[in-house]
Structure 1
Amino acid sequence: MRLYFENPVGRLLEHPDGYALVQYAPGVRDLPTFQAFLTHTSQLLRRHGWHKMLADQRQMAPFTDEERNWIREFWLARSEDEGYELFGAILIPSDVFAQLSLNLVMSDSQQSALTYRMFDNEPDAVAWLQQQG
């Protein structure tokens, strides 16, 4: 795997099987750094023509309301507007509050171009991703 981008929010890796591996770091995030992280995620996907990502959120802190709103109103909305279909396998955060915030984000994404599934382990998540378009 090749490192594509890294900042305090996490690391983006190019997986040789044709998907982005999005690894969230633990700790508090600020909105501009979070926005940069997801913007680079979009750029990585589009650069390769990929439509799949594995989001490892196991160590992630809960999404803030600002982050949730930005994901819904900009990041997912942009993909929807462009007709860019995404498949996301999500490794569930260990923190209960992060799980709750993830559920809110996923509920917000119901009308978007994102098709997702949540998993407790990486092998199951990867197997699901490989079955997608």
Structure 2
Amino acid sequence: MATEIRTPTGVDHPLPNGVLSRRGLVAFVAAMLSVLVARALMGQLAPAAVAGDPLAYPSIFLVVTGATVVATLVYAAIDRYTDEPARYFVGVGLLVLALSFAPIVLTAPALGVTSDGQLLLAILHIIAAVAIMGPLAYEP
């Protein structure tokens, strides 16, 4: 006998085809633009602080792309198995954001990143997290 999983009335989960991929694309564009603009401003305001591989544009592109893809896949899994995916996704996202500060503190100095550079990296992490989580967790 097959078990039927019911969700609360009015909840459409999992999301219809294409909705999550569009949200993921919007999240990618929002994160990439906001992080690149923030990085460019930081380069003008504190050029010495942005000198280092973690703050180089190719590194930023790879990290933002990977983070967006992983976040979209995580949202898809949460959406499939819960009736409040946005709520759980934001919780998971905040936990991942908090954990993302560990490499900034532990490994960035070994890469030659100054304390100002570490602060800028942390700010970029926050900007990227907000830009990625916002479109993915959006529920009209």
- Name the TM tier (shorter chain): under 0.3
Q: Which has the higher helix share?
A: 2
Q: Is the radius of gyration larger for structure 1 or structure 2?
A: 2
Structure with greater contact order relative to length (CA < 8 Å, sep ≥ 6) = 2
